[in-house]
Structure 1
Amino acid sequence: MALKVFSGAMQMPIPSKLTTYLQPSHLNSSPKLLSNTKGTSRSRLRVSCSSSQLTTERRSGNYNPSRWDVDFIQTLHSDYKDEKHARRASELVTLVKMELEKETDQIRQLELIDDLQRMGLSDHFQNEFKEILSSVYLDHGYYKNPDPKEERDLYSTSLAFRLLREHGFQVAQEVFDSFKNEEGEFKESLSDDTRGLLQLYEASFLLTEGETTLESAREFATKFLEERVNEGGGDENLLTRIAYSLEIPLHWRIKRPNAPVWIDSYRKRPNMNPVVLDLAILDLNIVQAHFQQELKESFRWWRNTGFVEKLPFARDRLVECYFWNTGIIEPRQHASARIMMGKVNALITVIDDIYDVYGTLEELEHFTDLIRRWDIDSIDQLPDYMQLCFLALNNFVDETSYDVMKEKGVNVIPYLRQSWVDLADKYMVEARWFYGGHKPSLEEYLENSWMSISGPCMLTHIFFRVTDSFTKETVDSLYKYHDLVRWSSFVLRLADDLGTSVEEVSRGDVPKSLQCYMSDYNASEAEARKHVKWLIAEVWKKMNAERVSKDSPFGKDFIGCAVDLGRMAQLMYHNGDGHGTQHPIIHQQMTATLFEPFA
Structure 2
Amino acid sequence: MLKASTADPMENVKFIDTLLRLGVFEKFKDGSVGKFKESLVDDIRGMLSLFWEDYDFSSELSYARERYVEVYTWINSLYFEPRYTRWRIILTKLMVLISILDDTFDAYGTPQELQRFTDALKRWEISALDELQDYTKVICKAVLDLFDEIEDEARKEGRSYTVPYAKDAFIGLINNYQAEVKWCHDGYVPTFEEYMRVAMKTSTYDPIITTLFIGMGTIAGLEAFEWLQTEPRIMTAANMIGRIMDDRASHKFEQLREHCPSSVECYMKQHNLSEKDALHDLKKKLEDAWKDINEECMRPTAIPRDLLLRILNFARITYLFYKHGDGYTDPDPYMKDDIRALFVDPVRM
Correspondences of 1:514-525 after superposition (within 5 Å): 514-525=264-275
> One-letter code of the match for 1:498?
R
- 1:562 counterpart (311, 324, 328): 311
Q: For the structure 1 residues 436 and 71, does the alpha-carbon distance in structure 2 shift closer, same or farther, using more than 3 Å as the test? A: farther
Q: Does structure 1 residue 509 correspond to structure 2 residue 259? A: yes
| Paired position in structure 2 for 1:159 | none
Correspondences of 1:153-172 after superposition (within 5 Å): none
After superposition, the C-alpha distances for 1:302-323 in whole angstroms (9 at most, x for unaligned) are 2212111211111111111111
1:561: Cα distance to partner?
A: 1.1
User: Using the alignment, how far apart are the partners of 1:409 and 1:459 within structure 2?
Assistant: 16
> One-letter code of the match for 2:121?
I
> One-letter code of the match for 2:86?
S
User: Using the alignment, how far apart are the partners of 1:511 and 1:492 within structure 2?
Assistant: 16
| Paired position in structure 2 for 1:580 | 329
Q: For the structure 1 residues 385 and 71, does the alpha-carbon distance in structure 2 shift closer, same or farther, using more than 3 Å as the test? A: farther
Equivalent residues of 1:317, 1:346 under 8 A apart: yes
SS at 2:330 equivalent: coil
User: Using the alignment, how far apart are the partners of 1:549 and 1:332 within structure 2?
Assistant: 29
User: Using the alignment, how far apart are the partners of 1:462 and 1:451 within structure 2?
Assistant: 16
| Paired position in structure 2 for 1:533 | 283
- 1:482 counterpart (219, 232, 240): 232
1:295: Cα distance to partner?
A: 3.0
- 2:297 counterpart (505, 530, 547): 547
Can you give the 5+ residue segments of structure 1 that lack an aligned partner in the other structure? 1-68, 78-289
User: Using the alignment, how far apart are the partners of 1:70 and 1:574 within structure 2?
Assistant: 35
- 2:171 counterpart (412, 417, 421): 421
> One-letter code of the match for 2:35?
F
- 2:320 counterpart (568, 571, 587): 571
User: Using the alignment, how far apart are the partners of 2:34 and 2:309 within structure 1?
Assistant: 34
| Paired position in structure 2 for 1:211 | none
Equivalent residues of 2:191, 2:267 under 8 A apart: yes
Q: For the structure 1 residues 567 and 594, does the alpha-carbon distance in structure 2 shift closer, same or farther, using more than 3 Å as the test? A: same
Correspondences of 1:47-66 after superposition (within 5 Å): none
> One-letter code of the match for 1:561?
R
1:575: Cα distance to partner?
A: 1.3
Percent identity, aligned pairs only? 26
Can you give the 5+ residue segments of structure 2 that lack an aligned partner in the other structure? 1-31
Q: Does structure 1 residue 348 correspond to structure 2 residue 348? A: no
RMSD: 2.0
After superposition, the C-alpha distances for 1:419-470 in whole angstroms (9 at most, x for unaligned) are 2110000000000000111111111111111101111111111111124344
| Paired position in structure 2 for 1:320 | 70
User: Using the alignment, how far apart are the partners of 1:336 and 1:485 within structure 2?
Assistant: 25
User: Using the alignment, how far apart are the partners of 1:459 and 1:513 within structure 2?
Assistant: 23
| Paired position in structure 2 for 1:26 | none
Q: Does structure 1 residue 377 correspond to structure 2 residue 127? A: yes
| Paired position in structure 2 for 1:298 | 48
Q: Does structure 1 residue 459 correspond to structure 2 residue 209? A: yes
Equivalent residues of 1:456, 1:481 under 8 A apart: no
> One-letter code of the match for 1:373?
R
User: Using the alignment, how far apart are the partners of 1:74 and 1:558 within structure 2?
Assistant: 36
| Paired position in structure 1 for 2:344 | 595
| Paired position in structure 1 for 2:24 | none
User: Using the alignment, how far apart are the partners of 2:207 and 2:285 within structure 1?
Assistant: 22
SS at 1:391 equivalent: helix
> One-letter code of the match for 1:72?
K
User: Using the alignment, how far apart are the partners of 1:511 and 1:409 within structure 2?
Assistant: 40
| Paired position in structure 2 for 1:12 | none
1:415: Cα distance to partner?
A: 2.2
| Paired position in structure 2 for 1:234 | none
Equivalent residues of 1:416, 1:460 under 8 A apart: yes
Equivalent residues of 2:220, 2:307 under 8 A apart: no
Equivalent residues of 1:483, 1:546 under 8 A apart: yes
Equivalent residues of 1:577, 1:583 under 8 A apart: no
Bigger Cα Rg = 1
User: Using the alignment, how far apart are the partners of 1:561 and 1:70 within structure 2?
Assistant: 36
User: Using the alignment, how far apart are the partners of 1:309 and 1:499 within structure 2?
Assistant: 28
Tell me the matched-pair count.
317
1:72: Cα distance to partner?
A: 2.7
1:498: Cα distance to partner?
A: 1.4
1:370: Cα distance to partner?
A: 1.6
1:572: Cα distance to partner?
A: 0.2
User: Using the alignment, how far apart are the partners of 1:331 and 1:372 within structure 2?
Assistant: 33
After superposition, the C-alpha distances for 1:510-537 in whole angstroms (9 at most, x for unaligned) are 1111111111122111111111111111
1:74: Cα distance to partner?
A: 4.6
Compare relative contact order (CA 8 Å, sep 6+) and give the higher one, 1 or 2: 1
SS at 2:160 equivalent: coil
Q: For the structure 1 residues 447 and 74, does the alpha-carbon distance in structure 2 shift closer, same or farther, using more than 3 Å as the test? A: farther
Equivalent residues of 1:423, 1:454 under 8 A apart: yes
Q: For the structure 1 residues 373 and 410, does the alpha-carbon distance in structure 2 shift closer, same or farther, using more than 3 Å as the test? A: closer
Equivalent residues of 1:327, 1:568 under 8 A apart: yes
SS at 2:64 equivalent: coil
SS at 1:315 equivalent: coil
| Paired position in structure 2 for 1:336 | 86
Correspondences of 1:280-295 after superposition (within 5 Å): 293-295=43-45
SS at 2:218 equivalent: coil
TM-score, length-normalised on structure 2? 0.85
Instruction: Report which stretch shifted further, 395-404 or 427-436.
Output: 395-404
After superposition, the C-alpha distances for 1:63-91 in whole angstroms (9 at most, x for unaligned) are xxxxxx785365049xxxxxxxxxxxxxx
> One-letter code of the match for 2:138?
L
After superposition, the C-alpha distances for 1:395-438 in whole angstroms (9 at most, x for unaligned) are 00110121122124434332222121100000000000001111
User: Using the alignment, how far apart are the partners of 2:192 and 2:128 within structure 1?
Assistant: 37
| Paired position in structure 1 for 2:7 | none
> One-letter code of the match for 1:298?
L
User: Using the alignment, how far apart are the partners of 2:145 and 2:90 within structure 1?
Assistant: 13
TM-score, length-normalised on structure 1? 0.51
User: Using the alignment, how far apart are the partners of 1:571 and 1:561 within structure 2?
Assistant: 15
Equivalent residues of 2:117, 2:132 under 8 A apart: yes
> One-letter code of the match for 1:505?
Q
Going by fraction, where is helix more abundant, 1 or 2?
2
| Paired position in structure 2 for 1:72 | 35
SS at 1:550 equivalent: coil
Q: For the structure 1 residues 467 and 452, does the alpha-carbon distance in structure 2 shift closer, same or farther, using more than 3 Å as the test? A: same
- 1:491 counterpart (211, 226, 241): 241
Instruction: Report which stretch shifted further, 505-514 or 463-472.
Output: 463-472
Equivalent residues of 1:405, 1:412 under 8 A apart: no
> One-letter code of the match for 1:430?
E
User: Using the alignment, how far apart are the partners of 1:71 and 1:422 within structure 2?
Assistant: 41
Q: For the structure 1 residues 74 and 574, does the alpha-carbon distance in structure 2 shift closer, same or farther, using more than 3 Å as the test? A: farther
